[in-house]
Chains A and B, each alone.
Chain A
Amino acid sequence: MIKCYLEFEKPIEELELKIEEMKRISDGKDVNLSGEIRKLEKKVKDLRTEIFSKLTPWQKTLLARHPDRPYTLDYINLITEEFLELHGDRRFADDKAVIGGLAKIKGAPVVIIGHQKGRGTKERIRRNFGQPHPEGYRKALRLMEMAEKFKRPIVNLIDTPGAYPGIGPEERGQGEAIASNLMHMSRLRTPIVSVVIGEGGSGGALALSVADRLYMLEHSVYSVISPEGCAAILWRKNGELNAEDFSRASESLKLTAQDLLRFKIIDDIIPEPSGGAHMDVEQTARNISDRVMQTIEELKTRTPGKLVEERYRRLKKIGSFVEEA
């Protein structure tokens, strides 16, 4: 597999290419470069740690959209012992950009739902780049209501650029579908744990993330608007917008997991391996399932009534304003 490097990973790429070449040279020959190689490998590791410890918001945005970044199904395959995908909204269609079903994680039955992006052109189109239609949200709500009925906790994995802007979605009530999820999720009498695993794109992400606990992976982002959209509104000029504009916009938006933790909008950050989730998918998956299942255990001790009441109080606290008497 050809590794995909982002712009800011170029120094890492150079070193790794060098290592590759040294390995090739020493392969099957008498030249022993293993000492050199080890030294370089250590250097790569340190360099990666350094680069990833101070990523800018825009770099994090790019990482959250990295083509190799694990998607919902990758995690489901790793964290569940069983998974039965269920389909359709019982109204109009089965939206491939949202998947969900019955699963077992660490022996406990749950309902797991998430946005699904595709890998490769064909699959990407089939998944509509992870941008749901109203049917996706309605399928998700149907499954969540099923979870409530059978007293199963809900796990949501968030990863979408946003709800799909098209004619069909507007005709069939994209706004209503999202609103309805927000409203009903706030009252579901079963634990909900949501994790932003990649892109948290505005209302389209929010519609799956109302929860008792909201976590974000270390290098994921969550924002009211994409940096590109924000830059277009702020600095729409004659020329094209460039990476520098997007970078500035992403700084303004405060969209990183670290920002949201500081704002107390999320409950915690789930760590990623050095170099990002895709560098060690198994480890990332373990980090997610450990955290999620530990949280569910804790939430299970609450009565459904208390759970709903606390969820409401959690939401009520979010806001930043002053009030004159």
Chain B
Amino acid sequence: MAWFKKSKGLKTDKKVKIPEGLWVKCDSCKEVIYKKEIDKNLRICPKCNYHFRISARERIELLVDEGSFVEIDSGLASNDPLNFKDKISYKDRLEENRKKSGLEEAAISGEAAIEGRPIILVIMDFAFMGGSMGSVVGEKVMRAAEAALEKKIPLITVSSSGGARMQEGIFSLMQMARVSAAIAKLHESGNLYISILADPTFGGVTASFAMLGDVIIAEPRSLIGFAGPRVIEQTIKQQLPEDFQRAEFLLEHGMIDLVIDRKELKKTISQIIELLT
């Protein structure tokens, strides 16, 4: 009877304490990896090649010629058109996100050069309110498209966003129509537009400028879709297929042109610009 008797008083307190931030769990393969190893590898998981989210600033370094980036429209800031009621006010939430991310908004735009060729660049940053698109992000994309049109140079966007920003309600929704109209003009005038999709790209961003590129490139293993996987699961009450909404899934279904490693991104963009302009 006493075979399985619980031995009381033998609880150890020897839980191994891992210093915070030394190890990282991969969002895609769930493997626990030494953080330095990921950092050395441009923040790419060495096990499954998942590309970790990186900040807009890091991306600029990665994508464009050193020192070529000049930010435009940096003075744009959200106000609170709905006087949105939340647990904390929208204004406080914005302030909190500014502090947390070191950014003014969920996107940075500017002029830059890729291997000497001038471009207009918009980069979203998921760290600022989930990269959500409100009036400011919409305005930045629209002005970037208009600047590209005026200067007759390519537009490149890097998306990483949960979608339209709820706190600006209908104003956010309308940004989808605005930016799409600006991209339409760009296409009409024969400008090149390259859209890069990073993890994650969803909702109103997918359903507007992100899917309107002449060439659409995604980073490996990124989650990309219109409806979020949880919403779909709740709606259809089924398990989602393996790899559902991953970059490779979209490539397989003909929704994007390429899945390209972060390391090769600049070279590929440069090649596309060279071949098309």
A323 touches B173 (CB 8 A): no
User: Known contacts A254-B82, A325-B75: does B226 contact A163 (CB below 8 Å)?
Assistant: yes
Measured CB to CB, the closest approach of chain B to A236, in angstroms, equals 11
Interface residues in B, total, Cβ within 8 A: 62
CA distance A172 to B204 in the complex (A): 17
Q: Which residues of the other chain, A, contact B171 by a CB distance below 8 angstroms? A: 263, 265, 318-320
Q: Which residues of the other chain, A, contact B82 by a CB distance below 8 angstroms? A: 252-254
A319 touches B138 (CB 8 A): yes
B84 touches A255 (CB 8 A): no
List 19 additional A-B contacts (Cβ < 8 Å) besides A178-B207, A255-B169, A321-B78. A164-B235, A165-B226, A170-B232, A178-B226, A179-B206, A179-B208, A179-B210, A183-B180, A202-B204, A223-B169, A224-B172, A234-B87, A248-B85, A252-B84, A253-B166, A253-B170, A316-B142, A319-B178, A324-B77
B225 touches A182 (CB 8 A): no
A321 touches B87 (CB 8 A): no
Q: Answer yes or no: A174 CB below 8 A from chain B CBs.
A: yes
Q: Answer yes or no: A180 CB below 8 A from chain B CBs.
A: yes
Residues of B within 8 A of A (CB): 75-79, 81-82, 84-87, 135-136, 138-139, 142, 164-166, 168-178, 180-181, 183-185, 187-188, 203-204, 206-212, 225-228, 231-232, 235-236, 238, 240-241, 244-245, 249, 253, 255
Residues of A within 8 A of B (CB): 163-167, 169-176, 178-180, 182-184, 186-187, 202-203, 206-207, 210, 222-225, 230, 233-235, 248, 251-255, 259-260, 263, 265, 311-312, 315-316, 318-325
| Residue in chain A with minimal CB distance to B80 | A320
A323 touches B226 (CB 8 A): no
User: Known contacts A203-B204, A230-B166, A319-B138: does B178 contact A170 (CB below 8 Å)?
Assistant: no
Measured CB to CB, the closest approach of chain B to A212, in angstroms, equals 13
A323's contact among B75, B169, B211, B232, by CB below 8 Å, is which? Answer: B75
A322 touches B173 (CB 8 A): no
A175 touches B207 (CB 8 A): yes
B75 touches A312 (CB 8 A): no
B185 touches A170 (CB 8 A): no
| Residue in chain B with minimal CB distance to A207 | B207
A321 touches B210 (CB 8 A): no
